[in-house]
């Protein structure tokens, strides 16, 4: 039986990808993308968690079993990158919403294609 975190991560991934395909609103699409990205982060953390281990802060005396600290350090970088991507994408959605007065992906696609042909 895999750790509970892994199961939750896979569930989040599936929900996120489905929402990315089904929802036509760009803001929802970005939320779904955020879910997919977070699910990966959860996967990275929970794959290396073991039962009866503690946080990787090694006390000077005890030799307690600790979690591998490397994934936790990596996740920080991944979180920052995902934040930057979502922030920049939202700015672009904002610009498109100002120009076309909609955040519907299908409508924007058609409007852009029409404008391109002219």
Partner 1 sequence: MTIVAAPLIHMIAAAICLMAGRRSRWIVLAAWAAGVGLLAYWIGVFAETGPIHETVGDWGALGIRLALDRPAIAFLLLEQLLVGAVIAHGWRSRLSSAFYALLLVLAGSVCALCMSLDLFNMYVLLELLTLTSFLLVAYERRSVQIWASLKYLLLASLGMSIYLAGVALLYAQVGSLSLPQIGEVLASLSPGEAGWIPIAAALMTAGIAVKAGIFLYSLWLPAAHGSASTGVSALLSGLVIKMGVLALLRLSVILPIDHVLTVLGVMTGIAGALYAIVETDAKRALAFSTLSQVGYLLIGVGAATEAAKIGVLMYIVAHGMFKGLLFLAIGDAGERVGSTEISALRIHRREIPRSSRVAVLVGCAAIVGLPFVGAFWAKEWLFVGSAPVDRALLWLLVFCTALVFSRFLPIVLVRGRCPGERNKSLSYALLGAGLPCTFALAGVLAPGRGWLMGTTLVHAAWTLAVVAAGVLVGTRIPALMTLRLPRSLFRIEEGVVAILAGVFLVYVTICAGT
115: tokens are 């404008």
Among 58, 64, 65, 99, binds partner 1 (CB under 8 A): 99
Q: Judge whether 86 and 30 are in contact, CB under 8 Å.
A: yes
- Give, in order, the Cα–Cα distances in Å from 17 to each of 23, 64, 116: 10, 39, 30
Q: Is 95 in the site for partner 1 (CB under 8 A)?
A: yes
Distance from C-alpha of 103 to C-alpha of 105, rounded to nearest angstrom: 6
Binding site for partner 1 (CB under 8 A): 13, 17, 20-21, 26, 29-30, 33, 36-37, 39-40, 43-44, 47-48, 68, 70-71, 74, 77-78, 81-82, 84-85, 88-89, 92-93, 95-96, 99-100, 105-106, 108-109, 111-112, 115-116
């Amino acid at each position: 039986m895999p750790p509970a975190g892994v199961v939750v991560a896979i569930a989040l991934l599936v929900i996120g990808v489905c929402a990315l395909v089904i929802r036509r609103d760009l803001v929802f699409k970005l939320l779904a993308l955020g879910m997919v990205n977070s699910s990966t982060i959860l996967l990275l953390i929970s794959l290396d968690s073991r039962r009866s281990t503690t946080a990787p802060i090694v006390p000077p005396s005890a030799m307690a079993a600790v979690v591998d600290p490397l994934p936790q350090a990596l996740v920080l970088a991944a979180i920052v990158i995902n934040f930057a991507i979502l922030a920049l994408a939202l700015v672009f959605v904002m610009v498109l919403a100002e120009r076309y007065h909609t955040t519907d992906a299908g409508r924007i696609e058609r409007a852009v294609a029409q404008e391109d042909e002219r």
